[in-house]
C-alpha cells in the first residue's frame, strides 16, 4: 500500500474560461478568447467557442456535491478578470455574488478552494492597449489581484497568481498558436518579464493585506529537460532548455532572483527586456509560500543544427529530440514518462529549498471516449486510471525521499472546453454531454479516485 499523509490534498483543477460558460453575460466583458472566436471561428475545433463551456456558472452547486461524493478535499479554479472587473476598475456585482457563493459553497462542503487569478484569459480592453507587452499591464493586474483578495480573502486562504505563464508567452508571441499569434522572440521576452512583474506585484499586494492564514503561490508547467546524449553540446541544450522553461519563473518565485545565466544569455543575444529600477528589489522581497507544478510530459532536447546570432527563436538554443521507443498519448502527441515526476520532486527538494509544493495538474486527454462506454453508460477509462497510478507511484517515491509535496490535483473534474481544441479531448472524472444540456455522468476513473481518497493511497 502506498499511503500519503493525512493532510494530503486530493482534488482536481479547472479554470474559469474553460468551465463557466456565459462568456459575455451577467456583466462579463470580452477576453482575448471571446474576441478571437468572433474574428476567426474557423480556428476553433468544430467552432466551439468560450460560450460553449461546461456551464459551471449554473452547475457549480451540483458539481460541488459531486466533489463531496468523491471525497475531494480541495479544488483549484480561477477567477475571470473580465467577470470581476469588466472595465479593469469597476467591480461587477453579479460576478462578485457568483464567486462569493461558489467559493463559500466549496468551503461549506469540505472542499478547500485554491483560487488562481489568471488562466490565459486577458481582458480585451487591455489587449487593445498592448496587453502584456506594455508596463501598464503590471499595475492593472496588481489592482485586479488586490480587489480579489479584498473581496474573497475571508473565504479563500490559498491563492495563486498565474497558471502556466509560459503558455501565453510562447503560444502568443513565439509559435503563433494563441492570440495575438505574433512570432517575435524579443517581444516574447518582454511579455514574460511583465508577466513576472505582475506576479510579483500581486504577491506584494497580498502581503500588505495580511490575510489570516493566507498563502500565495504560482502554478508553473514543468517539463524537465533530458538530453539526447551526454555530449557537451547536448548537455548545454538541456541547461538552456531548463533555464528558459523552468528556472525563468521558479527561481524568482522561490529564490527572489532571476538566474544570472539567463540574464547573461539574453544580453548576449540582444533580448534584454525593458525594466524599472525598483524591479530587482521587488522580486527579492516578494517570494511565494508554495508552488503548484503542472506535469504532463518531459522535454527531450538536443543541440541545435542551425544557430542564428543574435538568436531568433528558442530553437537557436535547443531543439526537440524524438526519442525512439517512447510511450505516447496519441491524442495529444505527448510522451508518457511518469519517472519525471520523481525527478521534479527531487529538484524541488534539492534546488528550491524544499518549499511546499503540489502537483497542480496531471492527467490524460483522450478523444472519442464514447468508444469506451459500457451498457450502463459509464466510460471505462482504465487508461486514465493507469496513467494516474503510474504518476502517483513516482510522486510517492519522491515524497518518501523527503520532497515536501502536499497534494495531487488532476486535470480535470468535469470535461472542459480546451481553447482551440474545444471538446476534442476529454480529461474529466465526469463526462459532459454537450447534446443534453451539459449533463454529467461519472466515469470509472471517478470511482477509482474516490477509493484512492478513502484509502489515502493505493495498492501497488
Percent of the chain past pLDDT 70, that is, above it, reads: 100
* Domain ranges across the chain: 2-458
Q: Is 394 a catalytic residue?
A: no
Q: Is the pLDDT of residue 5 over 90?
A: yes
Q: For residues 62 and 345, what is the distance between their CA atoms, to the nearest angstrom? A: 35
Identify whether the C-beta of residue 218 lies closer than 8 Å to the C-beta of residue 292: yes
Residue 108 has pLDDT above 90, yes or no: yes
Predicted local confidence at residue 235, as pLDDT: 98
Beta bridge partners of 373: 379
List pLDDT tens digits, range 290-325.
999 999 999 999 999 999 999 999 999 999 999 999
User: How high is the pLDDT of residue 437?
Assistant: 86
Q: What is the pLDDT of residue 396?
A: 98
What is the pLDDT, as a whole number, of residue 127?
98
| Arithmetic mean of pLDDT, 161-179 | 97
361 carries an active-site annotation: yes
Task: Fold for 2-458, please state it.
Answer: TIM Barrel (3.20.20)
pLDDT of 400 reads 97
Would you state the pLDDT for residue 441? 97
Q: What is the pLDDT of residues 182-239, one digit of tens each?
A: 999 999 999 999 999 999 999 999 999 999 999 999 999 999 999 999 999 999 999 9
Q: So what's the pLDDT on residue 334?
A: 96
pLDDT, position 313? 97
| Residue 325 phi, psi dihedral angles, 5° rounding | 80, 5
Q: Is the pLDDT of residue 453 over 90?
A: yes
Interacting residues of 362 by C-beta distance below 8 A, sequence separation 6+: 294, 295, 296, 341, 388, 391, 408, 409, 410, 411
pTM of the model: 0.97
Residue 86 in grid coordinates: 469588466
- Report the distance separating Cα 385 and Cα 449, nearest Å: 8
Instruction: Judge contact between 202 and 196, C-beta under 8 A.
Output: no
DSSP 52-73: GS--HHHHHHHHHHHHHHHT--
φ and ψ at residue 161, rounded to 5 degrees: -85, -55
Report d(CA 350, CA 343) in Å as an integer: 10
pLDDT of 144? 98
Overall average pLDDT of the 430-441 stretch: 93
Nearest C-alpha neighbor of 379 from the set 293, 328, 447, 285: 447
Compute the C-alpha angle 285/286/289, nearest 5°: 125
Q: What is the pLDDT of residues 232-279, one digit of tens each?
A: 999 999 999 999 999 999 999 999 999 999 999 999 999 999 999 999
Closest CA to 79 of 32, 117, 124: 117
- From the list 344, 279, 292, 8, the residue with the least C-alpha distance to 159 is 292
Nearest residue to 15 (alpha-carbon basis) of 250, 379, 292: 292
Per annotation, catalytic residue among 133, 205, 335, 361: 361
Q: What is the DSSP code (8-state) at residue 382?
A: H
**pLDDT at residue 459, rounded to an integer:** 87
Check whether 128 has a pLDDT greater than 90: yes
| Sign of the four-CA dihedral 18, 21, 22, 27 | negative
Query: Which position has the grid cell 506594455?
Result: 134
Q: In terms of Cα–Cα distance, which of 32, 4, 216, 262 is closest to 124? A: 32
Nearest to 273 by CA among 253, 258, 288: 258
Helix pair angle (382-400, 339-351), 10° resolution? 30
pLDDT band (50, 70, 90) for residue 52: confident
- Give the chain's mean pLDDT: 97
User: Percent helix, strand and coil across the chain, each rounded to 5?
Assistant: 45, 20, 35
Q: Does 460 score more than 90 pLDDT?
A: no
Query: Across residues 175-186, what is the average pLDDT?
Result: 96
Q: Which of 164, 170, 205, 335 is catalytic?
A: 164
d(CA 210, CA 146): 12
Q: In angstroms, rounded to a whole number, what is the distance separating the alpha carbons of residues 421 and 371?
A: 19
Residue 264 burial by Cβ neighbours in a 10 Å radius (0-12, 13-18, 19+):
exposed
Q: Could you give phi then psi for residue 289, rounded to 5 degrees?
A: -90, -30
If DSSP codes are grouped into helix, strand and coil, which group holds residue 331?
A: coil
Amino acid at each position: 500500500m502506498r499511503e500519503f499523509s493525512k493532510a494530503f490534498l486530493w482534488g482536481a483543477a479547472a479554470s474559469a474560461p474553460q468551465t463557466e460558460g456565459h462568456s459575455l453575460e451577467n456583466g462579463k466583458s470580452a477576453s482575448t478568447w471571446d474576441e478571437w472566436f468572433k474574428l476567426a471561428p474557423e480556428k476553433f475545433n468544430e467552432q466551439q467557442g468560450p460560450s460553449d463551456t461546461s456551464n459551471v456558472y449554473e452547475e457549480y452547486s451540483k458539481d460541488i456535491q459531486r466533489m463531496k461524493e468523491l471525497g475531494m478535499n480541495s479544488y483549484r479554479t480561477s477567477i475571470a478578470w473580465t467577470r470581476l472587473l469588466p472595465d479593469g476598475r469597476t467591480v461587477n456585482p453579479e460576478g462578485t455574488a457568483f464567486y462569493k457563493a461558489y467559493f463559500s459553497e466549496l468551503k461549506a462542503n469540505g472542499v478547500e478552494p485554491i483560487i488562481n487569478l489568471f488562466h490565459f484569459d486577458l481582458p480585451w480592453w487591455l489587449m487593445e492597449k498592448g496587453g502584456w507587452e506594455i508596463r501598464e499591464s503590471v499595475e492593472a493586474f496588481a489592482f485586479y489581484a488586490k480587489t480579489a483578495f479584498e473581496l474573497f480573502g475571508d473565504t479563500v486562504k490559498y491563492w495563486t497568481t498565474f497558471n502556466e505563464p509560459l503558455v501565453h508567452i510562447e503560444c502568443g508571441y513565439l509559435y503563433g498558436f494563441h492570440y495575438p499569434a505574433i512570432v517575435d522572440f524579443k517581444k516574447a521576452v518582454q511579455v514574460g518579464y511583465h508577466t513576472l512583474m505582475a506576479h510579483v506585484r500581486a504577491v506584494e499586494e497580498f502581503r500588505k493585506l495580511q490575510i489570516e492564514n493566507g498563502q500565495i503561490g504560482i502554478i508553473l508547467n514543468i517539463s524537465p529537460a533530458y538530453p539526447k546524449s551526454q555530449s557537451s553540446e547536448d548537455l548545454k541544450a538541456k541547461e538552456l532548455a531548463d533555464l528558459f522553461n523552468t528556472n525563468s519563473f521558479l527561481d524568482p518565485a522561490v529564490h527572489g532572483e532571476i538566474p544570472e545565466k539567463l540574464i547573461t544569455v539574453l544580453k548576449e543575444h540582444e533580448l534584454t527586456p525593458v525594466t524599472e529600477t525598483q524591479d530587482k528589489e521587488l522580486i527579492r522581497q516578494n517570494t511565494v509560500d508554495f508552488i503548484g507544478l503542472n506535469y504532463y510530459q518531459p522535454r527531450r532536447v538536443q543541440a541545435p543544427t542551425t544557430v542564428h546570432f543574435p538568436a531568433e527563436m528558442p530553437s537557436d538554443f535547443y531543439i526537440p529530440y524524438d526519442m525512439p521507443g517512447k510511450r505516447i498519448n496519441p491524442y495529444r502527441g505527448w510522451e508518457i514518462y511518469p519517472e519525471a515526476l520523481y525527478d521534479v520532486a527531487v529538484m524541488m527538494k534539492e534546488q528550491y529549498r524544499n518549499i511546499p509544493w503540489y502537483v497542480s495538474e496531471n492527467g490524460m486527454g483522450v478523444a472519442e471516449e464514447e468508444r469506451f462506454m459500457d451498457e450502463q453508460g459509464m466510460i471505462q477509462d482504465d487508461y486514465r486510471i493507469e496513467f494516474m497510478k503510474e504518476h502517483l507511484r513516482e510522486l510517492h517515491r519522491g515524497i518518501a525521499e523527503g520532497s515536501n509535496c502536499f497534494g495531487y490535483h488532476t486535470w480535470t473534474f468535469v470535461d472542459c472546453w480546451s481553447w482551440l481544441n474545444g471538446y476534442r479531448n476529454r480529461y474529466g472524472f465526469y463526462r459532459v454531454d454537450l447534446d443534453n444540456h451539459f449533463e454529467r455522468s461519472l466515469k470509472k476513473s471517478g470511482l477509482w479516485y474516490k477509493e484512492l481518497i478513502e484509502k489515502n493511497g493505493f495498492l501497488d
